[in-house]
Amino acid sequence: MSTIVMKFGGTSVADLNIMQNAILKIVEEVKNKKKVIVVVSAMGSTTDHLVRKVKEVSAIYDAREYDAILSTGENISASIMALLLQNEGINSRSWQGWQIPIITTDNHSNARILDISTKNLEKRFTNGMQVAIVAGFQGISNKNRITTLGRGGSDTSAVALAAAICAERCDIYTDVDGIYTTDPRITASAKKLDKISYEEMLELASLGAKVLHTRSVELAMQYKVKVRVLNSFKKGSGTLLCDEEDMMEKKVVSGITFSKNEAKLTLLGVKDKPGVAGIVFDCLSRANINVDMIIQNISDNDLTDVTFSCPTDQVDMAKESLEEGKKNNIIEYRKLDVDRQVSKISIVGIGMRSHSGIAKKMFKTLGDENINIKVISTSEIKISVLLERKYLELAIQSLHEAFELSKV
Amino acid sequence: MSTIVMKFGGTSVADLNIMQNAILKIVEEVKNKKKVIVVVSAMGSTTDHLVRKVKEVSAIYDAREYDAILSTGENISASIMALLLQNEGINSRSWQGWQIPIITTDNHSNARILDISTKNLEKRFTNGMQVAIVAGFQGISNKNRITTLGRGGSDTSAVALAAAICAERCDIYTDVDGIYTTDPRITASAKKLDKISYEEMLELASLGAKVLHTRSVELAMQYKVKVRVLNSFKKGSGTLLCDEEDMMEKKVVSGITFSKNEAKLTLLGVKDKPGVAGIVFDCLSRANINVDMIIQNISDNDLTDVTFSCPTDQVDMAKESLEEGKKNNIIEYRKLDVDRQVSKISIVGIGMRSHSGIAKKMFKTLGDENINIKVISTSEIKISVLLERKYLELAIQSLHEAFELSKV
């Protein structure tokens, strides 16, 4: 009898009625004679509500207490889910992180899973338990305190449990049908992918396609967990995450992802000497700015320009910290240029490794539409560009067509 | 450096503003160089809200999941309280039942504390912790599952912790000034008692003066814990619970307590033979009726009458179960008389043991007011009567005066 892990996110457990969709999926797996581990998120907006509660007390807070408070959301949904399954005559119980236990680092609010003991779970399965409902997003540190894994961390709980118990597969139920070539709200020709490699998913997850927690994809890749992304409200085979070798045909480009609200900041007239960039980005990191793309132009008369991008809502903080740095003679520059009207588009595909001409095709497609590229950055399997925000939809549609993504 | 336990109930932690009263009291004790253990209830109506959530899922539910859900209320208030104390610069942390641990029976939803290990708490006090905030009302069973102690159980958590750690005293903060001779809303001459014996408090607690959880008073008596009942919103010395021997002068009557909505049921023409009463009350207990006073009149022609009282809202269930019993030939009786318009009044005092004439004085006082007594029952330190509900206030006021309770 094999074990499967099923994870239901916040929108899939928003209320008792909605939970019935999950119950149907779970009951089906029990009928298929699977031992089932269900990982749940907190119901609907519970976590946001708890976060606000903490922030009401203090802007700066003890992350250990924050974690203890946030973890209650998943504890409640796990117990509610267990009760609903018991109503269906299924032998089911809830498990909190410390009861399993799921051991994590003590990096509170952003802990990483170190070890999962499956002994207690397996013993209970032997004694008749059919479904274990595990509270996602949480664990305990070696100091016996409750930790949380960061927002979206329930995906990671699910994949880690699947890895620990050598599950047949790990099904992540969401409110979308799977992973798409791009956002279907932007182009109706966006297609659901049947398969995607871990590496591509990693680029997509970290680039803003908020379907899966990045860390869960890393873990899945590391332990070769067969992860499927499915819709909890519909039937369907979803998207399977798998090894590159398991992809029958390696498509050149698998998907297009984007981040709408980006800003481009340029420091003009920066001294071109060793250590300067270090000082600039140290300054920004202290201000907690999520710097994304970084470009440094060629030097002219020992002066250079440094450009970087960050989310629009962090521009003011970034400006302030750079101007502060200038005032205190920590950073020297002539002028700071800010463009708040840009978006980032990335094309991702493992096939890029073996195919040349992808960048050229991307730039030509955008050029043909008269879209100016402001910044470019590349990795092994992705190319990202910044462009004027008003061209975002047009650019995605053109690239989707140029790379024939509707034909997958 | 001695340890004290302070317990704050739901109304004392209803929101962040109200919690500030508790914070002031705690900070004061820290300044007095006390090691402080704070026990908290859930904030305001949180527990009621969680109970409703469970009952929405199912009328009959797994008490283990119910306990896991309910315990989250105290977990949140404990962490919030710890954060508030940290804001004041106090080294404080929250403790959930399983972290201490507080070991209980596995009689879920109504568990009893079996053992409290104070090792972890003491270690942390040695390492600089000034205040431990303990989530009340909860523990873990030997099966490692979360249990709760029944409504009002946080009082019991507090007293049990005080006993386990040999605390100097246990202060129970509520929204009243202490224990009164009777309800001040009924007679303005009601006086706060400075001291009350454990035994008297036990009678008062179980008779409807909902200030303290009955089990907490039993524990306090057993382990000689010095318990004080105080108002968290005011200054004041409250009421001290102590041993009978520590009461300077044993008053004959210490207090008058009452239960407004009682009903009197009489089975007329019951066969007077052994085992009949057993069958009647077995029948009622199966229907979960909280039978209180029981009286059986003398026999006449082998037939007798059996009278008992129960809360008004259980009358219909009681009637139904007795009529069902008659239909099925389990119980024989001629007629069932129901009086839904009665109240119960009790006078309580350890002095009754050594004073005679208390009952006579009580009955005469009521007689002088033309109040008819319907049922009488007595214990070593209390006398209870049932009377028409419309006389309740008058009866309390007359008795309060007759026993000179305003002169305490």
The predicted-structure confidence for B64-113, as pLDDT tens digits, reads as follows: 999 999 999 999 999 999 999 999 999 999 999 999 999 999 999 999 99
Residue of A17, A47, A52, A57 to mutate, testing the B interface (most B Cβ within 10 Å of its Cβ) = A57
Q: Distance (Å) from the C-alpha of residue A235 to the closest C-alpha of chain B?
A: 25
Residue of B40, B49, B57, B106 to mutate, testing the A interface (most A Cβ within 10 Å of its Cβ) = B57
Query: A144-147 long-range contacts, Cβ below 8 Å, gap at least 24?
Result: A144/A98, A144/B99, A145/A64, A145/A67, A145/A68, A145/A106, A145/A108, A145/B99, A146/A64, A146/A67, A146/A68, A146/A71, A146/A97, A146/A98, A146/B96, A147/A67, A147/A97, A147/A104, A147/A105, A147/A106, A147/A107, A147/A108, A147/A109, A147/A111
Using alpha carbons, select from A295, A297, A405 the residue that is nearest to residue A361.
Answer: A405
Q: What is the pLDDT of residues B23-77, one digit of tens each?
A: 999 999 999 999 999 999 999 999 999 999 999 998 889 999 999 999 999 999 9
Q: Does A62 sit within 8 Å of B69, measured CB to CB?
A: no
Q: Does A87 sit within 8 Å of B57, measured CB to CB?
A: yes
Please tell me which residue, B151 or B158, carries the higher pLDDT value: B158
Spatial neighbors of B320 by CB under 8 A, at least 6 apart, are: B287
Q: What is the pLDDT of residues A302-343, one digit of tens each?
A: 888 899 999 999 999 999 999 999 999 889 899 999 999 999
Asked whether residue B227 carries a pLDDT value surpassing 60, the answer given is yes
Which residues of A are less than 8 Å from B68 in CB distance?
A: 75, 78-79, 94, 96
Q: Distance (Å) from the C-alpha of residue A14 to the closest C-alpha of chain B?
A: 13
A131-140, A352-361, B257-266, B305-314: least confident range: A352-361
Q: Which of A16, A56, A94 sits opposite B65 (nearest CB)?
A: A94
Residues in A whose CB is inside 8 Å of some CB of B read 16, 50, 53-54, 56-58, 61-62, 64-66, 68-69, 72, 75-76, 78-80, 82-84, 86-87, 93-94, 96, 98-99, 144-146
Distance CA A217, CA A202 (A): 6
Interchain CB contacts (distance < 8 Å): A and B: 88
Residue where a domain terminates, one of B135, B159, B175: B175
B162 and B278 assigned to the same domain: no
Which residues of A are less than 8 Å from B83 in CB distance?
A: 54, 57-58, 61-62, 65
B165 and B263 assigned to the same domain: no
B154 and B18 assigned to the same domain: yes
pLDDT tier for residue B278 given thresholds of 50, 70 and 90: confident
- ipTM score over 0.90, yes or no: no
Backbone angles phi, psi at B179, to 5 degrees: -95, 130
Q: Which of B64, B72, B86 sits opposite A76 (nearest CB)?
A: B72
Q: Locate the chain A residue with the closest alpha carbon to B143.
A: A99
Spatial neighbors of B303 by CB under 8 A, at least 6 apart, are: B269, B270, B271, B272, B334
Token pair of B252 as six digits? 């004959």
Q: Which of A62, A82, A93 sits opposite B83 (nearest CB)?
A: A62
Residue of B17, B76, B117 to mutate, testing the A interface (most A Cβ within 10 Å of its Cβ) = B76
- With respect to residue A181, please indicate whether it lies within any of the assigned structural domains: no
A151 and A275 assigned to the same domain: no
Which residues of A are less than 8 Å from B43 in CB distance?
A: none
- With respect to residue B339, please indicate whether it lies within any of the assigned structural domains: yes
- With respect to residue A379, please indicate whether it lies within any of the assigned structural domains: yes
Q: Does A144 sit within 8 Å of B76, measured CB to CB?
A: no
- With respect to residue B194, please indicate whether it lies within any of the assigned structural domains: no
Using alpha carbons, select from B26, B281, B7 the residue that is nearest to residue B131.
Answer: B26
Residues in B whose CB is inside 8 Å of some CB of A read 16, 50, 53-54, 56-58, 61-62, 64-66, 68-69, 72, 75-76, 78-80, 82-84, 86-87, 93-94, 96, 98-99, 144-146
Q: Does B56 sit within 8 Å of A65, measured CB to CB?
A: no
Q: What is the pLDDT of residues A269-298, one digit of tens each?
A: 998 888 888 889 998 988 888 898 988 877
Domain that holds residue B125: 3-175
Please tell me which residue, B152 or A101, carries the higher pLDDT value: A101
Mean pLDDT score of chain B: 92
Distance CA A189, CA B256 (A): 79
- With respect to residue A238, please indicate whether it lies within any of the assigned structural domains: no
Q: Locate the chain B residue with the closest alpha carbon to A101.
A: B144
- With respect to residue B372, please indicate whether it lies within any of the assigned structural domains: yes
The CA dihedral of B378, B384, B385, B390, to the nearest 10 degrees, is 180
Q: Distance (Å) from the C-alpha of residue B169 to the closest C-alpha of chain A?
A: 27
A171 and A262 assigned to the same domain: no
Distance CA A396, CA B257 (A): 77
Distance CA A215, CA B279 (A): 65
Distance CA B221, CA B201 (A): 10
Asked whether residue B232 carries a pLDDT value surpassing 60, the answer given is yes
Q: What percent of chain A has pLDDT over 70?
A: 98
Q: Is residue A306 within 8 Å of residue A294, measured between CB atoms?
A: yes
pLDDT tier for residue B318 given thresholds of 50, 70 and 90: very high
Which residues of B are less than 8 Å from A96 in CB distance?
A: 68, 146
Which residues of A are less than 8 Å from B146 in CB distance?
A: 96
Q: Locate the chain B residue with the closest alpha carbon to A60.
A: B87
Mean pLDDT score of chain A: 92
Which residues of B are less than 8 Å from A56 in CB distance?
A: 16
- Residue B357 burial by Cβ neighbours in a 10 Å radius (0-12, 13-18, 19+): exposed
A15 and A164 assigned to the same domain: yes
Residue of A69, A98, A117, A145 to mutate, testing the B interface (most B Cβ within 10 Å of its Cβ) = A69
B144 and B260 assigned to the same domain: no
B290 and B162 assigned to the same domain: no
DSSP bridge partners of A131: A36, A92
Residue where a domain terminates, one of B147, B175, B203: B175
Residue type present at position A12: S
DSSP bridge partners of B266: B307, B337
Distance CA B309, CA A183 (A): 69
Q: Does B96 sit within 8 Å of A68, measured CB to CB?
A: yes
DSSP bridge partners of A311: A262
Q: Between the CA of residue B326 and those of A226, A358, B54, B312, B334, what are the distances in Å?
A: 65, 89, 36, 22, 9
Distance CA A14, CA A249 (A): 38
Q: What is the pLDDT of residues A5-23, one digit of tens each?
A: 999 999 999 999 999 999 9
Q: Distance (Å) from the C-alpha of residue B76 to the closest C-alpha of chain A?
A: 5
Three-state DSSP class for residue A275: coil
Interval A89-102 mean pLDDT: 98
- Parallel, antiparallel or unpaired: strands A146-148 and B146-148: unpaired
pLDDT of residue A208: 58
Q: Does A53 sit within 8 Å of B80, measured CB to CB?
A: yes
Q: Is residue A296 within 8 Å of residue A309, measured between CB atoms?
A: no
Q: What is the CATH number of the domain that holds B281?
A: 3.30.2130.10
Residue of B79, B108, B143 to mutate, testing the A interface (most A Cβ within 10 Å of its Cβ) = B79
Only one residue has tokens 């959301």, namely A73
Q: Does B50 sit within 8 Å of A94, measured CB to CB?
A: no
DSSP bridge partners of B372: none
Asked whether residue B1 carries a pLDDT value surpassing 90, the answer given is no
Eight-state DSSP code of residue A178: S
Which residues of A are less than 8 Å from B54 in CB distance?
A: 80, 83
Q: What is the CATH number of the domain that holds A25?
A: 3.40.1160.10
Residue where a domain terminates, one of A145, A175, A205: A175
Q: Is residue B118 within 8 Å of residue B165, measured between CB atoms?
A: yes
Distance CA A391, CA A398 (A): 10
A265 and A396 assigned to the same domain: yes
Q: Which of B57, B64, B75 sits opposite A84 (nearest CB)?
A: B57
Interval B128-148 mean pLDDT: 97
Q: In what order do the strands lie in the sheet with B138-140?
A: B113-116, B102-104, B138-140, B146-148
Q: Does A145 sit within 8 Å of B87, measured CB to CB?
A: no
B284 and B158 assigned to the same domain: no
Q: Which of A54, A72, A94 sits opposite B83 (nearest CB)?
A: A54
Q: Which of A72, A79, A145 sits opposite B65 (nearest CB)?
A: A79
pLDDT of residue B256: 94
Q: What is the pLDDT of residues A154-213, one digit of tens each?
A: 999 999 999 999 999 999 999 989 999 998 888 999 999 999 999 999 988 766 567 888
Q: What is the pLDDT of residues B200-224, one digit of tens each?
A: 999 887 665 678 888 999 999 999 9
- With respect to residue B187, please indicate whether it lies within any of the assigned structural domains: no
| Structural domain count of chain A | 2
A141 and A8 assigned to the same domain: yes
- With respect to residue B344, please indicate whether it lies within any of the assigned structural domains: yes
Q: Does A65 sit within 8 Å of B83, measured CB to CB?
A: yes
Q: Is residue B94 within 8 Å of residue A65, measured between CB atoms?
A: yes
Q: Which of A64, A68, A86 sits opposite B62 (nearest CB)?
A: A86
